[in-house]
Amino acid sequence: MKEEIKDLLQYLNSLKIEIEDLLINNRLDEAENKINEYSTYLNNSEFYTLKATYYFQRGEYKETLETLLEGLQKHPFSFEILFNLGIIYEQMNDVLSSWKYYAYAAKYSRNTSLHEESTENLKRVIAQISNPEVRTEKLNELDQILNEVDARVFPLDQDNNSLVRKVMHKGTDEEFMINMYKTHSVGDINVNSRIFFKTELLKGKEIQGDNEFFLNSPSIVPISKIQQSTEIKFSINNQTYPFSEKDLTSNNFHYLKFNEPGKLKISANKAVFVGNPIEMDDKPKTPKLVFKIFIDGLSYKFLEQKGLENVMPNAYAFFKEGFISKNSYATSEWTLPSKASINTGKYPTNHKLLHPNFTYNFEKYNKLMAEYFKEAGYFTTKICTNWRTTPTFGYYKGFDRILYQNFIGGMDCKEVIMEAIEHLEAFSGKNQFLSISLMDLHNVPDEIENNLYAQVNTDIFYRLNTQNKGETSVLTKYDENKIIKYYEEIKRVDIFLGVLFDYINKKYNSEEFLVVLHSDHGQTFLEKENSISHESRRKIPIMIKGKGIPSLMSDETIESIDILPIMLHQCGIKIPDNIDGKLPKCFGGESERQFAFTQIIHPNQTYKVAISDDQHNFQFETEKKVGNDLTVCFENYTMMLLDKHTNRDEKDVYVEKLKFYEKVVFEHIKEFIRWNKES
């Protein structure tokens, strides 16, 4: 690598221009050599476009297509890649595929001119569809693509249609159905009611007619009608249990207990959904219970300042005999990429679940935490209120059961914890992986006051609205009133955590469980500093107790991507080689991290990086904003190397360290680099 990053960038930009000129003049052999040279430094979207153009001009359409599809996996919102896919499919006379990619090119176009260009191509391709019904259908689909909403609307799909009692991923190991949960008279949801009801997702398969299942031991068989007027009959060991069309309501799953093993025959006159049979008693693993507690927006720096034992006495009492990290950092500043990093063990620029509004099926290219535990023989469950980790974001993978309600609809920590305890009791004979999310702290930046405890314990002086709500919770600025409310909301969450911890201590011995408490980021409003990369935003709690966990308050630098390898290691599951997370030395890893890395890559904001080591806080920020396709103009940027004690910028003193961190940033973001292109 060239010594100076800016020199390297200038060279690569010149190389790109040279390749474009060679392609225009059909000097393909020279272009191939230059493209190969370019690829030794960058595999950004421009690389895939140049390489595809080279193959296209050689008439090698198969290679052109393969190159573009590989590029799309890494750059899902690239106009050029999508547009060129439209061209190559049109050239190959695949009209319907061509239509699809021109449609998405129109959706992700950066400006009016590109939108019009892709729309004109789209009209031309649609005109080639001879069947008028198919043509009309595609025009309707185009409207849906251009207006689709993102996965936060779950349990609706991206066209705002209900997913309740719709069987998904049919014929795969991940086949599932969603139904209502604990409702009596309500059978479905719509765009207005979706947040007010819980839904339940179970893995299994849709059946009709006569089907046989073999139960190896006493088991629970979940079942749901898809239509109300359905008759179902169960036969096992010469016993028959008929249910008429009036029995077993269609708007819930029903858990049926079979106390004997044997061949179970299920007969239904209409389609029904049968959940995977759940054996009631497993051979105990160690640990038998793996319990992950996620608290959205809990800042460890705040806990340090106020005293963990004061703000969260129940959490402190539980984890003080286990592991508490004093030096853990989130890899991103907000929930979507940060939670994806925790679940994959990868930095945001590697898992690529980054865009706040566009859909990216990151689960196709990443293995998620629940999958590891499912493969290891655990019954995997998620009780969730987080609208950024819904099944349509990809978090259906690996889970046997998901209970979900959007937090705004009222499912707070009290209800989540009670559902968790009921679940653990109901399946007490199982080896369980249980993940819960507590979103209550979101009330503070969102200026929602709906909890009795927090209201009663907050003086009227701090109840006045400061009119300081940010465009998003991330952008909410310093606010003393919010800090007071934040303190009380954390204490409230800790009260109900105390109930959970008491239950776990009574139910299991310390070798039978592994409990992990963590967050995804802190809060911006806790600091006066005009930055969203300060430590009150970046530092997060990681607390662990249970099997093999050292009793330790640790200063070792840990990143949130290390949560996955820690949990896998403690459960005897092999840590994969293709993740960025590493096992900390205090858990048996080979070495400690020398610094913690956090990056902020968000459309229409500047790209920012914060790196912390023992002595300095390195700050990096681009001049231009991140594009809507997540590309980053890296040509002009500022850097600071701030002494942790004096806050003095020492970049002129520690020149080599500054260069080193500059290269670290480049290595993280290089595939996202763009050249002189409008955002």
Q: What are phi and psi of 423, to 5 degrees?
A: -60, -45
Is there a single domain that holds both residue 535 and residue 644?
A: no
| Domain encompassing residue 643 | 601-674
621 in a structural domain: yes
* Residues 243 and 383 reside in one and the same domain: no
By DSSP bridging, strand 596-600 and strand 606-612 are antiparallel
Write the DSSP string, 123-144: HHHHHT---HHHHHHHHHHHHH
- Give CA–CA dist 595/454, Å, rounded: 37
Same domain, residue pair 216 and 240: yes
Residues in the chain: 679
- Boundary residue ending a domain (279, 312, 338): 279
In terms of domains, do 406 and 364 share one? Answer: yes
pLDDT of residue 676: 67
247 shares a domain with 389: no
Q: For residue 362, give the CATH number of its domain.
A: 3.40.720.10
> To which residue do tokens 């009222």 refer?
410
Is the same domain home to 224 and 353?
Answer: no
The domain that holds 235 is classified in CATH as 2.60.120
Kindly report, residue by residue over 193-244, the tens digit of the pLDDT: 999 999 999 999 999 999 999 999 999 999 999 998 999 999 999 999 999 9
DSSP assignment of 379-395 equals EEEEEE--TTS-GGGTT
Quick one: 372 and 253 in the same domain?
Answer: no
Per-residue pLDDT, 448? 83
Nearest-angstrom CA–CA distance, 469 and 209: 56
| Within-domain flag for 68 | no
- 379 and 404 fall within a common domain: yes
Spatial contact of 436 and 389, defined as CB atoms under 8 Å apart: no
**What integer pLDDT is reported at residue 470 of this predicted model?**
63
Please tell me the pTM assigned to this model: 0.95
Residue 636 has, within 13 A of its CA and on its CB side, a CA count of: 4
The pLDDT, as a whole number, for residue 475 is 67
Give the count of domains, the chain. Answer: 3
306 and 231 in one domain?
A: no
Structure tokens at 336: 């979507």
* Per-residue model confidence (pLDDT) at position 458: 86
Query: What pLDDT was estimated at residue 2?
Result: 42
Report d(CA 270, CA 241) in Å as an integer: 17
- Is residue 80, in this structure, part of any structural domain at all? no
Q: Say yes or no: 428 and 526 in one domain.
A: yes
Which residues of the chain are under the pLDDT cut of 50? 1-2, 678-679
How many Å apart are CA 188 and CA 231, to the nearest integer? Answer: 21
Q: What single-letter DSSP state applies at residue 283?
A: P
Domain boundary among 279, 314, 334: 279
Residue 609 lies in a domain: yes
Q: Does residue 82 belong to any structural domain of this protein?
A: no
CA-CA distances (angstroms) from residue 16 to 9, 26, 42, 48, 473?
A: 10, 15, 11, 12, 40
Query: What mean pLDDT, rounded, does the chain reach?
Result: 94
382-410 pLDDT, tens digit each: 999 999 999 999 999 999 999 999 999 98
Q: What is the pLDDT of residue 147?
A: 84
Residue 664 in domain: yes
State whether 393 and 327 are in the same domain: yes
Q: Is 568 in the same domain as 642? A: no
**260, part of any domain:** yes
Omega before 155 within 30 of 0, i.e. cis: yes
Question: CA of 435: how far to CAs of 67, 95, 257, 654, in Å?
Answer: 38, 44, 25, 44
Task: Examine residue 43 and state whether it is found in any structural domain, yes or no.
Answer: no
Q: Which of 252, 279, 306 is the last residue of a domain?
A: 279
Residue ranges in 58-131 assigned as alpha helix (H)? 61-74, 79-91, 95-107, 112-127
Start-to-end C-alpha separation, the chain? 28
pLDDT of residue 679: 40
Cβ–Cβ under 8 Å, residues 402 and 396:
yes
